[in-house]
Copies of this chain bind each other. A is one copy, B any other.
Amino acid sequence: MSPLKIHYPNGQPYHYNKENYNSQSKEQSSNYSNRGMSLEKEINLTNKQYLDDNMAVIHKKPTPIQVVKVDYPKREAAKITEAYYRRSSTTDYNGVYKGYYLDFEAKETKNKTSFPLSNFHGHQINHMKKSVEHGGICFTILRFVTLDEIYLLSSEFLFKWWDQQYKEKGRKSIPLSAIKKENFLIEYGFNPRIPYLKIVDQFIESRK
């Protein structure tokens, strides 16, 4: 499958163009089990549930937008009339859980056998490496859209695969078999829908 067909979550709108936009809508309506919901929306609902249950405070960061022109009409809200999506220098989600700093990215792919590393950008990986270095817990929530499977990838696993791509004969994508073997499948829940904190608990346990 061509990398052009990768389905980016809404958190990465610098890839927005009409083609991606349409393929996304099509994807969403054809996928039954997640009821047309984007991964971003499901994670937002999950985070809201965690907040309501007083378990954690995790939010999606707003999409970075470069504002070029603003109108200031009298007695009305400022209206932005020219702006562009910018690439984020960090990840999409962060917050606090059990005293730990959590920081993660959500990605989707239509691929069925591997996850292309081109879904990440170097600055996102660097941000996660730095955050881990300072004691944060970082990971990736990854959905294989066509398979309808969601995995939680540890940062160690991701960094290992990211770094190998620059070596001789390095692979440009992570095989699904390796993802299955070394990571966590997240089973859909009712509320929260994507109960990723259960897996974070295992990371915290392994630190003790």
Query: Please, how many angstroms separate the alpha-carbon atoms of A88 and B59 in the complex?
Result: 11
Minimal Cβ-Cβ distance residue in B for A59: B90
A61 near B: Cβ within 8 Å? Answer: yes
Minimal Cβ-Cβ distance residue in B for A66: B80
Chain B hits for A96, CB < 8 A: 101, 103, 131, 134-136
Interface-forming stretch among A11-19, A104-112, A145-153, A175-183?
Answer: A11-19
Q: A98-B135, A135-B96 are in contact. Are A85 and B78 (CB under 8 A)?
A: yes
Contact A134 B57 (CB under 8 A): yes
- Interface size classification for chain A: 35 or more
Selected from B56, B67, B81, the residue in CB contact (under 8 A) with A134 is B56
A79 near B: Cβ within 8 Å? Answer: yes
Contact B78 A80 (CB under 8 A): no
Contact with B along A9-27 (1 / 0, CB 8 A): 0000110111001000000
Minimal Cβ-Cβ distance residue in B for A86: B62
Q: A61-B61, A103-B96, A135-B99 are in contact. Are A17 and B78 (CB under 8 A)?
A: yes
Chain B hits for A81, CB < 8 A: 81-82
A-B contact pairs, 7 of them (CB 8 A): A14-B77, A59-B90, A67-B83, A77-B85, A80-B80, A81-B81, A96-B103
Top 9 nearest A-B pairs (CB, nearest first) are A99-B135, A96-B101, A62-B64, A80-B83, A101-B101, A96-B136, A18-B72, A62-B62, A16-B78
